[in-house]
Amino acid sequence: MTDGEEREIRGRDETGREAGSAEGRRRRKRIWRRVRRTLYVLAGLAVLGPVVAFVITYFLVSVPDPNALAASENQPVTLYYADGSMLYARSGPASHQLVTWDQIPQTMKNAQMAAEDETFMTNSGFDLKAIARTVWNRLTGGTGGGSTIGQEYVKNATGNDSPTLRRKFVEMVESYKMTRTYSKEDILTAYLNTVYFGRSAYGVQAAAHAYFDEDVSKLTTEQSALLAGLVQLPGQANNEAYQHKRFTYVMGRLLANHWITQAEHDSAQFPTPVPDGANGGSSLSDRQFIVSQVFAELAQHGYNEEQLTTSGAKIYTTIRPDAQADAEASVGRIMAADKEYPDEGSALVSADPVTGEILAYYGGDGSTTYDLATTPQQPGSSFKPYVLAAGLRADPQNIGLDTVYDGSDNQVIAGQTVHNSDGEGSPHITVKDAMTESVNTVFYRMGAQVGVEAVRQAAWDAGIPRQITPALGVPFDSLQNDDPATGRGTGTTELGISIGQYPVRPLDQAQGYATFASGGQYVPLHLVSRVTGADGGQLYGFTTPPRPAFDSDPATNAAIAGTVTESLSDVASSSGDGLAGDRPVAAKTGTAQLGNTGHNSEAWMVGYTPQIVTAVWFGNKKQPAAIYGNYHNGKGREHGYDVYGREEPGYIWQAFMDAYLNGKPVTQFPEVSLITGMAPSTTQPPPPTSDTLEPTSDLPSPTSEPPSSSWQRPPFSWPHWPTPPTCLPDCPTSVSPTSTSRHRPVHG
């Protein structure tokens, strides 16, 4: 190739590259031009799309009519016994009356705005900042409000509360349309006429009667503040702690918005509502707690009281009228002997252990606003069956009915001196006899052997809830110390759990013992069998199947439960609480001492036959105080004696069980391979581990002074108690928990 030819070819290549480069630039420009146009279109749609959607939705939606809404809400909720007879009917036409703007006092209007929508009189039916906050919460997996009063009215009218952005958008448009159709006065009046306040009270007039037995026009500022606050969570309307919290909040917002003066705020007194049911519906007296617990149970399954009321629900409970009557009669007969002690009370929960159906439920005589059956108390020695279950599961070769322990009094275990009640016990005693005699040193040592985490887990597996909801206060993490700053469980459990340091509810004890009674099968105790709507369609039905509690192997699971049952088989007869007809029964007592006073503060009897399980608690209804009895005392004076588990609670349990089982066949517990524990336990305590109670320098000595006499249950936050008293009848007065929050000291 000549030099000329090479230059010609090179020139053509350079020209081609130049041409290609120019074409590439033109191509890239065309692409970016298309991208920019697309972005412009998308940006326009982002701006105009919501506007167009808003306009279209605006013309499609209709504004809810308050009269039609009031009519749809005006449906009664009816509760039925297990046999189909009526237990309770709530609400009705007379309870829902529409009132005018002029009939509603300004203080009620201000209170509702303070509670829910402070800018109501000036906003356009929605709050963009609040909506943006709600959208962010939804996108990040959280929840949030952001609704104005107009939006809340729309939600109530449509009954649509689904947590979707589409529902929120339509609700916003409807609320905006309301502000263009009606005046603010009309909207607020419609809202106050239809909003749910709890106690089956729709509308402010019904609420004024339900809570204060007053006409709406006579509501005070304090009463208005409480009612307005209850709208947030009407299902908690009878919870005193919640009432006080919301009252305080609304009064604070009234002050912040200058709707009341500082002097009015500072002088305000909490307006105590009248008892629920006093001004409408059936008068329940001591059965009011059944109704409350039914609604609480359904709320756990996603059916709140407002939804049930608007659907005209028919709720079929598991309560048997004959069993409920037997429970009330048994409590009434024994408690009548103690009428000179009016602050003493009792709770009883009884259930079929196989089906989980609660047959009788007694939360008190109606003299308290809180339910004693859901008020946590320390179980004392009635907690020992869970310790044994933990031992049987963890070390069946060495822990069983025939295992011999040193059960002598005044032993040092894990660094603590442990006492037995009245110095009882023996240097050589079997587990079976130790359970019958309630020997603390045996079960304290057993808890140290297997570790507190194993004891706690066995109790949880039996059915003690991991989080307990008290009748008053807020839920707390069970069977562990809690952080005073947060109220949450720390995960740390002390060895005092072995003799009942941590509080549980009577309902929980019925649940746990039901698992033992059913051969180790856990079935949730429940009050509701099914719910239907006004049209007869089923809304809810209990369908939870049983599950093995202690081991996946059926034989092992049954052996653990059956061995616990056998360990409890002599307790009732030895305490004088055996059943008529020589029925086989498994039971355990428990008693708590009031500090070092030598008197008791509460007592338990929990037990079962194959057909029925019953938990009974007895104590002071208002505060930890000495409990005395006059019914019968097999050991000592007959009048004003200190009540132990074998007495008042034992007599109530015995009377109820005999009455319920009268005429029913005597049924034996199923035969299982009992765990006997072949190797005897050492008499020396194991070295402390992370699962056992470490020696602590600030624990009280055997001669330590009792807690301050100023110790009281604080109102509205029970059971958050200060430093607890020590225990008496079956547990060491020298052993008390280092934690001072939520629970009192160990019991027996």
Q: What is the pLDDT of residues 574-591, one digit of tens each?
A: 999 999 998 999 999 999
Is the pLDDT score of 364 beyond 70? yes
d(CA 79, CA 527): 11
Is the pLDDT score of 273 beyond 60? yes
Q: Which of 73, 95, 116, 426 is catalytic?
A: 116
Residue 254 and residue 361 share a domain: no
Residues 6+ apart with CB under 8 A from 694: 414, 415, 688
- Residue-wise pLDDT tens digits, 646-691: 999 999 999 999 999 999 999 999 999 999 986 544 444 443 333 3
At 245, the amino acid letter reads: K
Lowest mean pLDDT among 1-10, 315-324, 438-447, 618-627: 1-10
Structure tokens at 186: 């009309």
The pLDDT mean for the chain works out to 81
Lowest mean pLDDT among 24-33, 242-251, 686-695: 686-695
Q: For 325-340, what is the mean pLDDT?
A: 95
Domain presence at residue 303:
no
Q: For 706-730, what is the mean pLDDT?
A: 31
Residues 6+ apart with CB under 8 A from 209: 95, 201, 215, 279, 280
- Residue-wise pLDDT tens digits, 520-576: 999 999 999 999 998 889 999 999 999 999 999 999 999 999 999 999 999 999 999
Residue 559 and residue 485 share a domain: yes
Is the pLDDT score of 716 beyond 60? no
Residue 586 and residue 475 share a domain: yes
Identify the domain boundary among 639, 661, 683. 661
Domain presence at residue 421:
yes
Is the pLDDT score of 725 beyond 50? no
Domain presence at residue 691:
no
Q: Which residues is 357 bridged to in the sheet?
A: 526
Is the pLDDT score of 704 beyond 60? no
Domain presence at residue 335:
yes
CA 538 to chain centre: 25
Domain presence at residue 147:
yes
pLDDT value of position 688: 39
Identify the domain boundary among 216, 245, 267. 267
Residue 470 and residue 343 share a domain: yes
Is the pLDDT score of 632 beyond 50? yes
Residue 262 and residue 402 share a domain: no
- Residue-wise pLDDT tens digits, 413-432: 998 888 887 777 889 999 99
Lowest mean pLDDT among 57-66, 370-379, 426-435, 607-616: 57-66
d(CA 252, CA 144): 22
Is the pLDDT score of 311 beyond 60? yes
Residue 334 and residue 257 share a domain: no
pLDDT value of position 526: 98
pLDDT value of position 554: 97
pLDDT value of position 44: 58
- Residue found under tokens 């002599």: 570
Across 319-349, b (16+ Cβ under 10 Å) vs e yields bbeebbebbbebbeebbeebeebeebbbbbb
Domain presence at residue 55:
no
Q: Specify whether 705 is catalytic.
A: no
Q: For 289-298, what is the mean pLDDT?
A: 92
Residue 554 and residue 477 share a domain: yes
CA R_g for the chain: 33
Which one, of 80, 658, 578, lies nearest residue 326 by Cα? 658
Q: Which of 147, 200, 381, 681 is catalytic?
A: 381
d(CA 297, CA 515): 20
Residue 340 and residue 208 share a domain: no
Q: CB-hemisphere CA count at 13 Å for 178? A: 31
Residue 532 and residue 444 share a domain: yes
Domain presence at residue 13:
no
Domain presence at residue 39:
no
pLDDT higher at 107 or 36: 107
User: Most confidently modeled of 18-32, 33-47, 65-79, 578-592?
Assistant: 578-592
Residues 6+ apart with CB under 8 A from 666: 581, 582, 583, 584
Q: Give the domain CATH number at 363.
A: 3.40.710.10
d(CA 132, CA 145): 11
Residue 472 and residue 345 share a domain: yes
What is the band of 150 on the pLDDT scale with cuts at 50, 70, 90? low
pLDDT value of position 55: 52
pLDDT value of position 736: 34
What percent of the chain is modeled with pLDDT above 70? 73
Is the pLDDT score of 344 beyond 50? yes
Identify the domain boundary among 618, 640, 661. 661
pLDDT higher at 238 or 661: 661
d(CA 548, CA 480): 24
Residues 6+ apart with CB under 8 A from 87: 79, 80, 81, 287, 290, 291, 317, 319
Task: Give the structural domain span for 453.
Answer: 328-598+648-661
Number of domains in the chain: 2
What is the band of 738 on the pLDDT scale with cuts at 50, 70, 90? very low
pLDDT value of position 238: 82
Q: What is the pTM of this model?
A: 0.76
- Residue-wise pLDDT tens digits, 190-236: 889 888 898 878 889 989 998 999 999 999 999 999 999 999 888 78
SS (H, E, C) 124-160: CCCCHHHHHHHHHHHHCCCCCCCCCHHHHHHHHHHCC
CB 468 within 8 A of CB 376: yes
* DSSP reduced 3-state for 235: helix
Residue 333 and residue 253 share a domain: no
Is the pLDDT score of 249 beyond 60? yes
Q: Give the domain CATH number at 232.
A: 1.10.3810.10
Lowest mean pLDDT among 46-60, 478-492, 701-715: 701-715
What percent of the chain is modeled with pLDDT above 90? 53
pLDDT value of position 166: 56
Alpha carbon distance, N-terminus to C-terminus of the chain:
113
- Residue-wise pLDDT tens digits, 374-396: 999 989 999 999 999 999 999 99
d(CA 478, CA 493): 10
Q: Specify whether 381 is catalytic.
A: yes
Residue 345 and residue 227 share a domain: no
Phi, psi of 438 (to 5 degrees): 55, 55
Q: For 155-168, what is the mean pLDDT?
A: 56
